[in-house]
Structures are given as C-alpha cells and as structure tokens.
C-alpha cells in the first residue's frame, strides 16, 4: 500500500492509496480531554466559570445564582461538575460555600480570550 505523495502526482492517482493511520493516539487522554471540554461546553457552566474568574475574590453560590436564569439545583449541579473537572476549588465557611477558579481554568479562559475570532493567521 502506498502513502500519498506530495506534489503534482497526487492528483493523478486513479484511486485513493492512502496508508491508514496504524493506531492513532492515546485513547484515554482523548477521553480525558473530551470530558474536560464537555464540562466547559455548556452555557450555564461556562458562564459560572467566567463570573468567578472575573471576581477578585472567591464567590459564594448566592452571588452566582442571581446572574443566571436557571434553578438553584442547576447551579449546584454545574458547580459540582466544574469542581470535579478541576476548574473550580470549593471552600466551606459555615452555611456557605465559596468558589474560586483553579490555575487550569484561568489558563483555558486566557487562551479563549486570545484565540477570539481574528479569523485567519
């Protein structure tokens, strides 16, 4: 089986003779990355993350909730998932829980702000 060649001969092949990739990548790291991305890929969760990232201090749930129009339960579920993805850290204080972003979350947010649709490079 041939591998496709660079250059003009490529276009003159009669049929595709590509060598399929043998065994592609670390499957488990793909699943791990996708899990992280899926955690971020939800408006409620992502907005919570940005609200907390924008705050100078850590925030309690009661400060986050009013900014969103979903139920209390939904906010709690969102926070729990962000914590288990290592995007937020939780601190207990009496009846309240305070959340702040991890360095991981900050790195991702910074990148997304940089990579903002400037279109082509």
- Residues forming contacts to its own copies in the complex (CB under 8 A) are 4, 6, 10-11, 16, 18-21, 23-25, 29-34, 36-38, 40-43, 46-47, 50-51, 54, 57, 60, 62-67, 86, 93-94, 96, 102-104, 107-108, 111-112, 114-117, 119-121
Q: Give the residues lining the site for DNA (CB under 7 A).
A: 11-16, 38, 41-44, 60-62, 65, 69-74, 76-80, 90, 94-97
Q: Which is nearer to DNA, 30 or 118 (CB)?
A: 30
Backbone phi, psi, residue 74, to 5°: -65, -40
Backbone phi, psi, residue 69, to 5°: -110, 60
Strands (E), 9-113: 59-60, 88-93, 96-101
User: Whole-number minimum distance, CB 112 to DNA, in Å?
Assistant: 17
Q: Is the torsion defined by CA of 73, 38, 84, 59 positive or negative? A: negative
């Amino acid at each position: 089986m041939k591998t496709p060649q660079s250059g003009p001969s490529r276009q003159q092949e009669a049929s595709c003779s590509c060598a399929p990739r043998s065994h592609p990548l670390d499957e488990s790291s793909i699943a791990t990355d996708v899990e992280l991305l899926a955690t971020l890929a939800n408006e409620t969760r992502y907005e919570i993350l940005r609200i907390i990232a924008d705050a100078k201090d850590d925030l309690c749930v009661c400060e986050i909730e009013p900014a969103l129009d979903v139920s209390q339960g939904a906010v709690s579920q969102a926070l729990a998932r962000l914590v288990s993805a290592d995007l937020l850290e939780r601190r207990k204080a009496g009846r309240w829980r305070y959340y702040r972003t991890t360095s991981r979350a900050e790195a991702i947010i910074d990148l997304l702000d940089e990579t903002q649709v400037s279109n082509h490079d």
